[in-house]
A and B are shown apart, each in its own frame.
Chain A
């Protein structure tokens, strides 16, 4: 029964999210940027393919983050604003099922969008592959339709699943969507710099205690920077499957922890 209820909430979130205009605006922007990368590639002294891949993957990651943040923070607060939360909680639906369902629904929405953008990128690359001469193809460090790009997509999907959990956490206790956006963006940016924070003592000369304190923050923050293998796959360099498995496991564990916290916070909330 629990699985069915969680599934229903998730499916409802998916249906609601795909109707959101913000989603289409971001997806259209990303699509335009991926297509525009072909034009940018023309002024790069033969590095068009690298630029298309770099720009395409970066666009997918940024668009994914924007979708996650702007839809994720409204997941709970919108229900409260619209007062639909009262009707939902009056039903035999435990609060933890509500939170988990919301999370899975948004992860499904984001995943579908990310992979649709990846398909658009592959279409652009396929066109580039057809238009290129044989000698141009030989100069590419990796084939245009390199399946290794999919590893980068797996990492971006895992990264966004983790970011969704963070956005949901802030959405569960803050009534202000603006504050939730600010918190989530802050954590995302800090997480992208988490490698430097963890090794703060090696980068900046500070008192060891300060270094340890900043380092501890670096370990506690979600390590979004560690999901970045875009450069390796674009250059056709090998990526260890163990690394990908480790980061997917990390995202799953951290997201589970964040959702657990969200459940705790949400279960203590009182709605008037």
Chain B
């Protein structure tokens, strides 16, 4: 066979593959694939999955972990999807049954599950179940006990339970020294911004980049709440001085109460409503929604 004939066959084969992709695309347009929520998780029992995977259960756990992240990320983007985040819990359960020592699956998984809508399913009960499963598999992991305290503090708002879990975490091997005082904070300042800040600062120094980022975001939300309180105080002060409420930020800037339009730590401008005289975050801000429990 000549070189020209060989090259012709290669080009023909590549054209064939491209044509096949075109047919596939036309098929997807004509018969769209089922929406995410209708997709099935064929295997829901972790124990059955472990048997089927033979020696390769840790590898299967990795696959399910990637699927958990993808499922969470996809549902986070598709806000109008019915049954959003419905697969995250079962996928995490499979992941952790296949690999009971997969620490980040418990830690980050509990964050996914506990997030309030629209950022998560708001299933603090499932988050607690997942973390308790992790502690049953490895009772010496202070991180899991700490995260149980965190979920109780921020999501179930059971400050006594939070304090108890922080105490248990502090007593576990290799627990950092900053966990001990969190029990007292949870007891004395449950639901208080200062207490929340102290708990989040601990997480913000976590070795896990994703947990650190989630804590930093929550700290920025607390800063935004403080900023909103201060801005509303300025609005009231303007009313006391001028006998009327400002019509916009320009009035406060002209009055030298502000140096420019105020923005949150993500540089999204705060919104002032002249009708209600209330200040809020921009709907476009990555810090939305703010934690309701810490509003004043």
Q: Chain A residues in contact with chain B, CB under 8 A?
A: 40, 43-47, 50-51, 54-55, 58, 61, 135-136, 138-139, 141, 189, 192-193, 196, 224-225, 227-228, 230-231, 234-235, 237
B62 touches A47 (CB 8 A): yes
Q: Chain B: interface residue count, which band?
A: 20 to 34
Contacts of B188 in A (CB 8 A): none
Interface residue B13 (Cβ < 8 Å from any Cβ of A): no
Which of B2-10, B203-211, B229-237, B271-279 sits within the interface? B203-211
A139 touches B208 (CB 8 A): yes
Contacts of A50 in B (CB 8 A): 62, 102
Most buried by A among B54, B66, B108: B54
Identify 12 new A-B residue pairs, CB closer than 8 A, beyond the known A58-B59, A61-B55, A231-B101.
A40-B66, A45-B69, A45-B104, A51-B62, A58-B58, A138-B207, A193-B51, A196-B51, A225-B55, A231-B58, A235-B101, A237-B101
Interface residue B49 (Cβ < 8 Å from any Cβ of A): no
B69 touches A46 (CB 8 A): no
Q: Which listed residue, B51, B57, B59, B65, touches A44 by the CB 8 Å rule?
A: B65
Interface residue B99 (Cβ < 8 Å from any Cβ of A): yes
Binary contact track B94-108/A, C-beta < 8 Å → 1, others 0:
000001011110001
B209 touches A136 (CB 8 A): yes
CA gap between A193 and B51 in the complex, in Å: 7
Contacts of B62 in A (CB 8 A): 44, 47, 50-51, 54-55
Between A and B, how many residue pairs show CB distances below 8 Å?
A: 65
B207 touches A192 (CB 8 A): no
Interface residue B56 (Cβ < 8 Å from any Cβ of A): yes
CA gap between A45 and B104 in the complex, in Å: 9
Known: A189-B54, A192-B54, A196-B51. A139 touches B59 (CB 8 A): no
- Chain B interface helix/strand/loop/mixed: helix
B208 touches A46 (CB 8 A): yes
Min CB gap B178→A, angstroms: 16
A192 touches B55 (CB 8 A): yes
Contacts of A192 in B (CB 8 A): 54-55
Interface positions, chain B 175-228, Cβ under 8 Å from A, are 206-210
CA gap between A55 and B63 in the complex, in Å: 10
Contacts of A237 in B (CB 8 A): 101
Min CB gap A193→B, angstroms: 6
CA gap between A163 and B126 in the complex, in Å: 43
Min CB gap B34→A, angstroms: 23
Contacts of A44 in B (CB 8 A): 62, 65-66, 69
Contacts of B101 in A (CB 8 A): 141, 231, 235, 237
Residue of B nearest to A193 (CB): B54
Residue of A nearest to B72 (CB): A45
A43 touches B208 (CB 8 A): no
CA gap between A196 and B51 in the complex, in Å: 8
Contacts of B58 in A (CB 8 A): 54, 58, 230-231, 234
A45 touches B108 (CB 8 A): yes
A43 touches B69 (CB 8 A): yes
Residue of B nearest to A62 (CB): B56
Min CB gap A168→B, angstroms: 22
Known: A51-B62, A235-B101, A237-B101. A45 touches B210 (CB 8 A): yes
